[in-house]
Amino acid sequence: MSPIEIGLISVAAIVVLIYLGVYIPVALGMVSLAAVWLIRDNPQLALNLLKSAVAEGVREYTFATIPLFTFMGLIVSKAGLGKDVYVVMNSLFRRVRGGIGMATVGANALFAAVTGSSIASASVFTKVAVPEMLSLGYTARFAVGVVGGSSVLGMIIPPSAMLIIYALVVEQSVGDMFLAGIVPGILLTFAYIFAIMFMCRFTPNFVGGNARGQQVEHAGVPVELSHVLGCAGIVALVGVVLGGIYTGKLTPIESGAAGATLALFIAVARRTITAKGFWNALLETGHITASILFLITAAALYQRMLGIADLPNSIAEVLSSYELGFAAVMVIYVLMMLFLGTILDTASIILIVVPLFLPIVEPMGVDLVWFGIVTVVGAEIGLLTPPLGISCFVIKSTLDRPDVLLKDVFMGALPFAGVMLIVLILLIVFPVLSIGIL
């Protein structure tokens, strides 16, 4: 077999193994190692490439942003600041039709600006928002759909681990990626809010609650000074992290360290975190960081295998022979991400698809920062689609209500996945929405 044929079979084998349940880094590393061995008929070369991938992954300085921002997000989550933001937002929107859903979106957007994790957002707001929406007569599908849809903001609004991973893969500035994610994150937030307004107006039976026009007695959780202070703490964290990067006073790594320190200070000052909670946050940070490093290391070997097989250039030549324009290439790219989103997590999609398409889009003069935003938003749609839909599974397991089925979670999230797709198209058609701030 030719190197190109081995490369194509390897990519297909990786997807099949992942679909069969093999741990993603293991599938990437194992198949890539075997492919290099077959292409060059040199097992020592394959082992040397593996050694090089491990060494470079560990030494990558930019990688230090991941544990810092992860730790900051975990401290904020364990300190209960997510509930504070939700209570304050809910008090602002409670007299609006469907306002509790809008409050959940707004709170998720602000919470995302300091956690960078869709999983954390889905877990926190499933506990604080869904029970209250259900108690006020909103339908289960709407309640879980709002939480699921808005949870993806955690991977788009900076600081985002996915933006960091993309920056590592294509060697772009993490600071530029963070700045480019601000406007798309805000755009998606307002798109969700308008979608809720639309659903209240035209599909009130899907929404329930006061979307049907009746006045709902909405006492909710009373807003106390501690909630306001918690919300102010979140705003302060956003100012330190993004403000430091935007003004150039701090590098992304320095802003991560400053944000983690301030988050810990706020949690200790409010006495909302125990010594056990702090230790658990450290352990969880280590677990998350190790798993991401393992994935990046395996992906580095995968990229080397693609280069040896010359697969990206071969794909580029095939597409060129069909005289496909930029629009056609982007359609293929988005469709591939949507397909892989049904079986893979966002980080894996970035690490598998981007190396394949980078040699294709770079000669077209594509801005790689913009391409990263499109990639993350497109891959994030997969968090809401079956059969994987990680955010939906997190919501179901966190809610632990037998009357709310996994099917209800996916059906509730479907309209918000559609909104994400519309926003993705806007970002592709109007690149200035993401890179205009740079």
Q: Where are the chain's structural domains?
A: 3-435
Output the pLDDT for position 58.
63
Locate all alpha helices (DSSP H) within 341-382, ordered by sequence.
346-361, 368-380
Token output for 414: 């479907």
Output the pLDDT for position 215.
46
Output the pLDDT for position 186.
92
Write out pLDDT tens, residues 14-30. 878 877 878 888 888 88
Output the pLDDT for position 109.
85
Output the pLDDT for position 421.
93
Per the model's pLDDT, the better-predicted residue between 80 and 364 turns out to be 364
Q: What is the mean pLDDT of residues 111-131?
A: 79
Q: What pTM value is reported for the model? A: 0.83
Output the pLDDT for position 214.
47
Output the pLDDT for position 193.
93
Write b or e for each residue in 208-247: b if 16 or more Cβ atoms lie within 10 A of its Cβ, otherwise e.
bbbbeeeebebebeeeeeebeebbebbebbbebbbebbbe
Output the pLDDT for position 317.
78
∠ CA 97-86-124, rounded to 5°: 120
Write out pLDDT tens, residues 182-202. 999 999 999 999 999 999 888
270 and 79 Cβ atoms separated by less than 8 Å:
yes
Give the confidence band of 81 by pLDDT, cuts at 50, 70, 90: confident
Output the pLDDT for position 212.
54
Per the model's pLDDT, the better-predicted residue between 262 and 57 turns out to be 262
pLDDT above 80: residue 149: yes
Give the confidence band of 431 by pLDDT, cuts at 50, 70, 90: very high
From the centroid of its chain, how far is CA 417?
Answer: 13
Write out pLDDT tens, residues 41-56. 878 877 887 777 777 7
Write out pLDDT tens, residues 369-424. 999 999 999 888 877 887 767 778 888 888 878 888 888 889 999 999 999 999 99
Mean confidence (pLDDT) of the chain = 82
Amino acid identity of residue 237, one-letter, is L
Give the confidence band of 220 by pLDDT, cuts at 50, 70, 90: low
Output the pLDDT for position 227.
64
* Strands of 68-222, DSSP E: none
Token output for 292: 């991401």
Q: What is the mean pLDDT of residues 286-301?
A: 83
Output the pLDDT for position 11.
83
Within 13 Å, how many C-alpha atoms sit on residue 109's CB side?
20
Output the pLDDT for position 226.
64
Phi, psi of 138 (to 5 degrees): -70, 150
pLDDT above 90: residue 305: no
Q: Which residues pair with 138 in a beta bridge?
A: 208
